Amino acid sequence: MMASQALAIDAMLPALPTIVGVLHVGNPNHGQWIVTAYVVGMAMGQLFWGMMSDRFGRRPILLTGLGLYALAAISCGLSQSFAALLVWRLVHGLSAASVVVARSVIRDLYSGRQMARVMSLTFIVFLLSPIIAPSIGQLILLTAPWRDIFIVCGVYAAIVWSWTTFRLPETLHPEYRMTLTRSHLAGAVRLILGNRISLGYTLAMTVLLGSLLAYVGMAQQIFGEVFHRPAQMPAMFALCAAAMGLASFLNSSIVERLGMRRISHTALLVFILVALLHLLIAAYGLERLWTFVVLQSITMGCFSLAVSNFGAMAMEPVGRVAGIGAALQGFISTFGGALVAAGIGSLFNGSTVPLAGGALCCGLLSLLAVLLAEQGRLFRTQPGTLERGAAGEMAI
């Protein structure tokens, strides 16, 4: 289940130029909308599926979401116009958001070290998926038309649906099912949006995620039009994604010793400095494939170190409404990040300047949000053991 989201985004990246040509899209930059529509749908879906699973149980929500995922993926492959493709990609993202319920299943079934072990397994799959998915898409394109990439996603979802039907029982006990009332939801929203730490770190995640999604949307154009090496896109994309995995592993090893704020604030400052260096290199025409891969890898590693801890700190003050809190924060960061990415992507001009400049702006805005959350002070250690516990859970 965890692999299905990344497969739907990254497997079709090598096919973007082909889709733009076949569907007669006038502006090549609009091909990025295929990624944006999916991410927007995924953002909106998080609000719905998470709350519904607390009310009706995990199994029916997962089965419904996976079934809709398969239908939407196949419909994307059968679309005869760009507008129809975007509509079905939106539905595709809405249904893919149901996969977040898989994490609730793990919480229902396991605790302590057992939960850590299972979460670690799913985390490995989540990291491997964006590394492998572009190569899968490239392999499909060598033997079949671009539509078959979406068909493969649909078949994959159907297999997961079948496995879930026969192997996954309901894991939410009836006595734990939550009644969703207007007053309960309104109170949770006020708590989440009214808390300085929660809102500040959510906004910090949002703009950083926008820079990452902009890279995902522009990757094929950059490797094809800037470096004229489109065939190398899957390998270079995997190399940059691997930096995120290594950074996440590093974070899990050091976060309980150094603390979330020290790690994430340092990573954010390095992110800004590297983005500034990247912008200068690109603006002066010194960009080469190796400089891009090295600097983008460092940027993505810093992103991983910062955002993983930002997410934990955003959840610290809203523990009593954790389910709704995670859904609302996920919606804000994903939907807002998609809008930021669309704005950066529209500026693509045949160079890496828009991407590097966008990353720098996102880093500075994220720093502003962190300063607002922390009342102007960085690296401040919060009293008590809350930070250590949240950091350990997020690191897992």
Question: Comparing 219 with 368, which gets the higher pLDDT?
Answer: 368
Q: Provide the residue type at 307 as one letter.
A: V
Please, what is the Cα angle at 206 between 383 and 252, to 5 degrees? 50
Place of tokens 């733009």: 20
Indicate the domain borders of the chain.
1-170, 179-396
CATH number, span 179-396: 1.20.1250.20
- Check for a shared fold between 1-170 and 179-396: yes
Q: What is the pLDDT of residues 352-367, one digit of tens each?
A: 999 999 999 999 999 9
pLDDT at 55: 81
Element (H, E) at 360: helix 353-373
More confidently predicted of 322 and 381: 381
User: Are the C-beta atoms of 221 and 28 separated by less than 8 Å?
Assistant: yes
pLDDT of residue 139: 92
pLDDT at position 295: 96
308 vs 147: CA distance, rounded Å: 34
**pTM, rounded to two decimals:** 0.76
- Residues 1-170, CATH architecture: Up-down Bundle (1.20)
Q: How confident is the model at residue 319 (pLDDT cuts 50, 70, 90)?
A: low
Give dist(CA 38, CA 23) in Å, integer: 18
Q: Tell me the per-residue pLDDT of 80-126, one tens digit each, with 9 for 90 and over.
A: 999 999 999 999 999 998 887 887 787 778 765 565 566 656 766 76
